[in-house]
């Protein structure tokens, strides 16, 4: 097993991209998140929509589970990032996903994650904000491996991210902030 304790967060994201292509499903029953706050930072409504009505929008950024856990598939300590996306112009291809460390504001990788690597649905135009009416949006998942092997990473702290996306025209979405997971 490789010892990743000295690998920086950029290296972790690079490995993430090489290890797993994100899975995607359409979300029809998104429980547990109110429509005014699209992340887990306990602020009531801090996630402003982009000024451009044709810009993509992201919603409900969170980690699947409160803590990084050992994953037998990856044979390492892993957690999954999830968020929803829509684009009124329906042209995400050519754009990208940008993920930042909340604490520093630094990108988590040297390059953004291009949408062209995903099998996006044909129509991602539904940008309604009220999930109580059964609104369907594309849900995106990423896996992040924090360390390989049986031993936990040894961080003993929360790791928090912010996220925004662009579409094929370079239009920037809203930015979701402070989605955290505990890394043992």
**DSSP string covering the chain, please?**
----TT--HHHHHHHHHHH-PPPEEEES---S--TT--SSS--SS--PPPSSTTS-EEEEEEEEEEEEEEETTTTEEEEEEEEEEE-TT---TT-EEEEEETTT--BSSSS-EEGGGS---S--------GGG---EEEEEEEEEEEESSS-----EEEEEEEEEB-TT--B---EEEEEEEE-
Looking at the chain, the whole-number percentage of residues with pLDDT higher than 90 is 49
Domain count, the chain: 1
For residue 47, the enclosing domain spans 9-30+37-183
Identify whether 4 is part of a domain: no
Residue 170 pLDDT grade (very low, low, confident, very high; cuts 50, 70, 90) = very high
Within-domain flag for 77 = yes
Q: Please report whether residue 3 resides in a domain.
A: no
Q: Is there a domain that residue 72 lies in?
A: yes
Report yes or no on 22 lying in a domain: yes
0.85 surpassed by pTM: no
What does the pLDDT look like over 105-160, one tens digit per residue? 999 888 899 998 877 888 888 877 655 555 567 888 888 899 999 999 999 999 99
Query: Is 1 contained in some domain?
Result: no
**Is residue 139 in a domain?**
yes
């Amino acid at each position: 097993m490789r010892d990743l304790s000295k690998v920086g967060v950029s290296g972790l994201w690079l490995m993430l991209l090489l290890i797993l292509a994100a899975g995607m499903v359409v979300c029809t029953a998104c429980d547990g998140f109110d429509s005014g706050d699209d992340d887990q930072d306990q602020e009531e409504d801090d996630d402003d929509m982009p000024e451009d009505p044709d810009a993509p929008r992201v919603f409900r950024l969170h980690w699947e589970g409160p803590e990084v856990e050992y994953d037998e598939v990856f044979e390492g300590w892993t957690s999954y990032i999830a968020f929803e996306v829509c684009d009124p112009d329906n042209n995400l291809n050519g754009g990208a996903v940008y993920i930042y460390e909340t604490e520093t504001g630094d990108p988590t990788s040297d390059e953004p994650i291009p949408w062209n690597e995903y099998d996006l649905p044909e129509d991602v135009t539904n940008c309604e904000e009220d999930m109580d009416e059964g609104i369907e949006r594309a849900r995106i998942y990423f896996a992040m491996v924090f360390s390989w092997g049986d031993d936990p990473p040894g961080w003993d702290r929360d790791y928090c991210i912010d996220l925004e996306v662009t579409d094929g025209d370079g239009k920037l979405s809203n930015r979701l902030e402070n989605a955290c997971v505990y890394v043992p």
